Structures are given as C-alpha cells and as structure tokens.
Structure 1
Amino acid sequence: MSPSSTKDSSPRSSADEKTVVPQAHINLEGAGVEEPVKPSFFRGTIFQAAVVGVCSFLSPGLWNAMNAVGGGGAQEPYLVNAANALVFGLMVFTCTLGTTVSNRIGLKWTLLVGTLGYTPYAAGLYTNKMFGTVWLVLFGAALCGISAGIFWSVEGAIVLGYPEATKRGVYLAVWLGFKSGGQILGGAINVALNSKPSGAGSVSSQTYLVFISLSAISPIFALLLSEPAKVQREDGTKVTVGTSTLGFKQELLQIWKVFTRREVLFLAPIAFYSSIMGPWTTTYLALYFSVRARAVASLVTAVVGILANFAMGYFLDSTRVSLKSRARYSYLLMAALGLASWIWSLVIQTEFSANKPATLDWVAGGAFSRAYVLYVLYALNTSVLQNVLYFYIGAISTEPTDIGRLSSILRALESAGSAVGYGITSNKTMSHLIPLGIDIGFFGISFPLGWFCINKIGVTLSGGYESSEKLEAVQAAEKADKETLAAEGKGFALGPQA
C-alpha cells in the first residue's frame, strides 16, 4: 500500500502542533509519535549507525581490503576466487534467512553472530601463504559465508530502519564511510608492508596477521548496539524494524511476497549486477599489476569510495531536490559511469588478451596509468551503486517491516552475483574476455529494466522520504502531463500502472 494522509479539520493547540508529523510518516514508521526528547547519546540513532559502521570497518571492510589487492593477496587469484564463490554462494541463503534469525534472537545478537566468520577466512589465507594449506581456505570461506550473509542482511536493516527517513542518505554515507575506512586502514597496512616489491607475487604474511587480529575484536563492538525498543529518535517516533514476531515459515512467505512485488523484480537485476562485476575487476588487478601497485589500489579505492559516498549521501538527503529527481539523476549517473567503464575495459582487456603485458608498475608510465585508472573507476562504480541501491529500497518500502526484508533480498541478490562472478573467474584456462562479456551483458539488461522501478519513486512510492501531501502534488502533476500528451497525440499508455 502507498503512504496516505488524513486531514483533521478540528482546531489544534500550539502544543499539539509541535508533535504532529505527516500521516504518511506515521503509517510507515508504524508506531506514531511520542513527546520528543533529547536522545541519550548511546541510544541515539547516530550512535547505532556508528556501532554498525565500526563492525563493518572491522569485518567486511577489512575483508574488502584483503580482496582489493586482487585475489585476496595471493600470487594467483584462482583458489581465492573459488573460495569467494563458496562464500557468496552460502550468503545467498544466509542473507535470505537474516530476518528469521533476528526475529528469534534480536538485532544485537544477530549482528554479533554475523561478525564471527571473518577471522577464520583471514586465517585460511595466512596458512595458505605460509604452509600451502588449502582446506582451511575453504573451511574459513564456508564459515565466513554463513556469518557474513547474516551480517549483510542485518546491517542494512539497522542503518535504514533505525534513523528517521529524512536522514537515511547521510546515515548510509556514515555507515559506508566506516566500511570504506576499514579498507583505508587495510590499504595503509597493505602499502606499509608491501611497498618495496615492484614485481608480481603475493602480499606479506604479516598483512594477514594484522587482519586476523583486527577482525577478532569486531564481536565486542556488536554488543554496544541497542535493540529497536531502546533506540531514541530526535522526532519521537519509534523504531519498528526488527520487531516482527513471525515464525520461520511465515517470515519466508513474507519475504517471497515482498520479492515478487513488481518494483522489486525490476530492481533485482541491478542488485545482481552490482556484485557480479567485482570478481572480474579484482582478477584483473591480480593478473596485471605489481604487488605494491595492488596494495596502493586498496588504499586509493577506499578514499575515492568514501568521498563519493558522502557526496551522494548529501545529495540523496537534499530537500531542495524532489525525491523523484534525486532517484532519477542518481540512476542516470550510475548508468553513465557503468557505460564508460565497460567501453574502456573492453578496449583494454582485448589488448591484454591478445598480448599480455609485463607486470604493470607505476614506473611503466602511460601504459600503467590508463589500466590503473580503470580499476579505480570500477571501485567508484561499485561504491556509489551500492549506496544508491539502499536509498532505492528505502524509497520503495511500504511497511516498516519491509525494510529488513528488502535489505535481506538485496544482499542475497548481491551475493548471488558475486558467487557467479567468482565461480566464472576461478577457471584458470578461460579467456578473461568471457567474464567481461557476461558482466557487460548484465549491465545492458539490468539498467533498462531498473528504470521501470526508478520512475515510480517520488510518484507512487516514497518510503517516508516525502510527506503524502508532497507526493500527491507530484502525482497530480504527472497525471496532468500525461493528459496533455494524450490530448496532443504525443503519448501512449503502457497499461495499468502499479
């Protein structure tokens, strides 16, 4: 159902007016408004975002740093790509089950469970580097896949569901900034420990020991999260995400119901695409660049990601631009960046497949620069796209409990994309033009389909980002435009609209 408003013609006192919010916001958040009070710092929404951010910093952030050097830092990426295919294959299922777990044990303990698998993953890479152990790489990947899927599903639900709707863009930027901060720290460690080798090879064993130590303390920070009933918002509204009491089967049915909504189905291919392109890019980095260039790449891409996320976060929260325009402009930007990246990559990969270059390092000058900047552009694509995807699912949510389910669906689709991508790139004999062509194909399919969802945001869907009065005004303007075009014979109907 779409957010709606009711108008009360009875007089209100000035005291009443201070606590009145648009009815659309009340319906979405589900619990009305209490008398606004100054939130306790430790119960405030910004602190909750910081807690999730620190956990993201120490868990997936450092995982990203390990993989940002290409192939988990290994000399050849194929074993790590196979392990990552296992990670994300398991995450397809555990992401989907995220809300059923949080319904049972609460969001705080679900977050804690989600942090437990990253240390065994790093330990597997370390033992493979030192002793050639293969089984721990795969076992650590399996543990990481089980816990990380739960983590991915719950972190998005908290960051989208805890803050007021009008602050989600900035809170997403804070959270993703922390996650990228983990990659910055990891990148700095990579550079410090791997700055001398100018040739190919694997990263220093000390790099893995530092990552193991840092990821091991992540569960401690998860204990600082407040459960929804204890969170205090500045506007007095209650947090309802994570408060469902449905059983396992009922929750899965609700997830399926949300997934089969028309706008979710149109957005689903983009969520899949947003992660399938990652494995090709990290394999590209591992195959063609020196160890120290790979180490610097993990640092540079993290910095670029943070700057881009905060810029996009402030734009998405801007009250000077309509919700409709914010959704459409951000989407068109993503399409333009993607198109530029794929054209550039097709040229370079065709050249490298025909004649593999010597290991690229910054002493190589122009040949290095044009290939290296492409990797940075990919990182920008991934970082910003994942940010705006959360904005979109927040905008298409119609019930307070939808946010957690939409987050689980989004992360399951992203996991599926990564699993397929890593599975393809784990084949050592396959031409690297094949996974590149598959990625380009998904780009060409997903973005046109996604537009059928995006063009409803700010028109029939708002997710609480705009009041019902403002949404109704936009709907009236859209209707008038269609009637004018029809009268002039310039438009055509697409059939019933959702």
Structure 2
Amino acid sequence: MSLDVETHPVTWYRSSIFAAFIVAATAFTLPGVFGALNGMGAGGGAKPEISNAANAIVFGVLAVGSIFVGAICNTITPKWTLVVGTLGYVPYAAGFYVVDKYEKDWLLLFGSVTCGLSACFLWVASGAILLGYPEENRKGTAISIKFALQNLGASIGGIISFALNIRRSYRGSISNATYIVLIVIMCLGFPFALFLPKASRVERTDGRKVMIRKSPSFLKEFHLLAKLIQIPTVLAIVPLMLYAQWFLSYQWQFNFAYFTVRHRALNSMLFYITGLIAALSPVE
C-alpha cells in the first residue's frame, strides 16, 4: 500500500530548495574561500605566527558568540541573520593581503574579530534555514547542497591559487593577485544573501508554512537554551562538535611547514575537491 503525499505548486524563487541554494551560495563565497585561503597554511602567507593568532581569535569569538546568536536569530529572523553573517569575512582576508604587502597586522587582527562574529551569524542562520525551511524529505538534500557548494568554493579557490602561483616552486607567500581574486569572491556573499526569501514567503510542496517561534524576550530565549544543553542527546554530540574542527590547525600548518607555495595551493585544492566528492556521494 503506498502513501500518496499531496504536492502543492510552488514558485521556484520561493521554494525551500532555492533558499538552500542561497545559503549554499554564501557558503561558496565565504567559508569556502576562507577554507581555500587557510588550507594553504599561514593564510597563504609566510608568517604562520600571525595567522595562528588570527585564527585563534576567529574560532574563539565563534565559540563564545554562537551561544548568544541563536536568540538574536529568532528575533531578527534567519534572513537578516544570514545577511549580517556575510559582512565580516572580507576584512579578515584583506588583512592577510596587508600583512603580506605592507607587513602591518592591525587589519588582520581586527578582521579576525569581525570574521568570528560574522561566522556566528552565518552558521546559526544556515542551520536554522536548512533545517527549518525545507520539507522533511528535502532536508538531507538541502544540507548536501550547502556543503557541496562550500567545498566547490574552496576547490575553485584552490584552483585559482594553484594557477596564479604555479611558478612559485619555493617557500614564501602567494601572489598579491591571489588575495585580490579571493577577496572579490568573498564580496559576492552579501548580495547573494539578500536574495533569500523571508520565512513567511517560502512555499513548500507539502503546503505547510515555515514556522518561526519567537520567545517574548531574550531572557526567555536563554532560559530555553539552558534547558536545551541539559538534554542527554545534545550532550552526547558535544565530543563530535569538538572533534569536527580539531584537525584543521594541524593540517594547515603542516602544509605550510613542508611544502612550497605551489604545492601548498595544490594540496588545498585536492583536499576540498575530495570534500566536494563526499558531499555529492549518495547515501542509502
């Protein structure tokens, strides 16, 4: 006996899958290029000490700030949370350019704070949209689209870096042109985010509306958060959360320490191409 599921017509630019593609486009331009830049080690530069300090700031701000951004997301809506999340990555990438060209690190340290704050908003909004907008039978597809385009962005960033530094068979930093191209790609994240439909305008094939439940106050939001982190199943995935990003610092600096500029770009490209293949692989 088969169970028929009623299908409602939807406008393509208001569909849940279109929303997933918009989130994926921001992942392509921002976390994707962030990964391509850092995948070469030392942010593509020749000074790992400053890049290590910068990334410590990025992930420190991200770890603390994300706790509070969930409440903000419920208040200003996922769309505007995503838009805010696109604003702080460019100063971070520009900071590496300034360090390499002028040997000044103030912009990189400032950009690390803005990148960490933006990442809080971007990742919280992405999760809310990918889990809250799509129909039940499309949530896996939506998440796969996001990570596929994120890895595609990192792969293309790696290809660009490899192509622009193919003659740099020595230790040092990537070309200034490489930084400029990657920064330009990052700038596209903001206009992409503006195309995300509001939750109230999303049309789903099952006919249901996207529901965003707002608490009466921020205090109530944090009260609910305190209850959430006491749930055993949530606590059980904390070790996986810690493990997920643990290897990156080692991997990035290993690439810097043992390879030429050209091969650092090649290694970064191959790593993310493998991630792209994994994101597109069917799972039964």
* TM-score, length of structure 2 as denominator length: 0.95
Is 2:147 the counterpart of 1:176?
yes
Rounded to whole Å, the distance in 2 between the matches of 1:55 and 1:267 is: 26
Counterpart residue type for residue 227 of structure 2: K
Aligned to 2:276: 306
- Note the 1:131-170 alignment, pairs <5 A: 131-170=102-141
Residue deviations 1:394-430 (CA, integer Å, cap 9, x gap): xxxxxxxxxxxxxxxxxxxxxxxxxxxxxxxxxxxxx
Aligned to 1:226: 197
Q: Of residues 263, 269, 272 in structure 2, which corresponds to 1:293?
A: 263
Give ranges in structure 1 of 5+ residues lacking alignment: 1-16, 20-34, 319-498
Rounded to whole Å, the distance in 2 between the matches of 1:226 and 1:245 is: 22
Cα shift at 1:125: 0.5
Residue deviations 1:219-265 (CA, integer Å, cap 9, x gap): 1111111122211111222222x442442111112122111111111
Cα shift at 1:103: 2.1
Cα shift at 1:18: 5.4
Cα shift at 1:104: 2.2
Aligned to 2:240: 270
Q: Please tell me whether Structure 1 or Structure 2 has the larger radius of gyration of its CA atoms.
A: 1
- 3-state SS, counterpart of residue 271 of structure 2: helix
Counterpart residue type for residue 86 of structure 2: T
Rounded to whole Å, the distance in 2 between the matches of 1:255 and 1:190 is: 42
Q: Of residues 48, 51, 65 in structure 2, which corresponds to 1:77?
A: 48
- Note the 1:320-339 alignment, pairs <5 A: none
Aligned to 2:26: 55
- Note the 1:295-374 alignment, pairs <5 A: 295-311=265-281, 314-315=282-283, 318=284
Residue deviations 1:67-122 (CA, integer Å, cap 9, x gap): 01112111132210110100111111221222222222211111010000011001
Residue deviations 1:32-82 (CA, integer Å, cap 9, x gap): xxx742111011111001000111111111111100111211113221011
Contact residue 180 and residue 306 of structure 1 kept, 8 A: yes
Rounded to whole Å, the distance in 1 between the matches of 2:80 and 2:125 is: 10
Contact residue 79 and residue 125 of structure 2 kept, 8 A: no
Structure 1 runs (4+) deviating above 4 angstroms are none
- Note the 1:60-459 alignment, pairs <5 A: 60-240=31-211, 242-311=212-281, 314-315=282-283, 318=284
Rounded to whole Å, the distance in 2 between the matches of 1:154 and 1:279 is: 25
Contact residue 83 and residue 193 of structure 2 kept, 8 A: yes
**Percent identity between the two aligned chains:** 36
Rounded to whole Å, the distance in 1 between the matches of 2:80 and 2:44 is: 31
Contact residue 170 and residue 310 of structure 1 kept, 8 A: no
Give ranges in structure 2 of 5+ residues lacking alignment: none
- 3-state SS, counterpart of residue 245 of structure 2: helix
- Comparing both chains, which one has the higher relative contact order based on Cα–Cα distances under 8 Å and sequence gaps of 6 or more? 2
Rounded to whole Å, the distance in 2 between the matches of 1:214 and 1:65 is: 12
Contact residue 231 and residue 239 of structure 1 kept, 8 A: yes
Q: Structure 2 vs 1, CA of residues 150 and 290 (structure 1 numbering), >3 Å: closer, same or farther? A: same
* TM-score, length of structure 1 as denominator length: 0.55
Rounded to whole Å, the distance in 2 between the matches of 1:39 and 1:252 is: 36
Residue deviations 1:129-171 (CA, integer Å, cap 9, x gap): 0000111110111111111111111111211221122222222
- 3-state SS, counterpart of residue 226 of structure 1: coil
Contact residue 103 and residue 246 of structure 1 kept, 8 A: no
C-alpha RMSD of matched pairs (Å):
1.5
Rounded to whole Å, the distance in 2 between the matches of 1:128 and 1:135 is: 9
Residue deviations 1:282-303 (CA, integer Å, cap 9, x gap): 1111111111111011211121
Rounded to whole Å, the distance in 1 between the matches of 2:36 and 2:223 is: 36
Rounded to whole Å, the distance in 2 between the matches of 1:278 and 1:212 is: 21
Counterpart residue type for residue 163 of structure 1: P
Counterpart residue type for residue 238 of structure 2: A
**Count of aligned residue pairs for this structure pair:** 282
Contact residue 45 and residue 231 of structure 1 kept, 8 A: yes
Counterpart residue type for residue 48 of structure 2: P
Contact residue 97 and residue 150 of structure 1 kept, 8 A: no
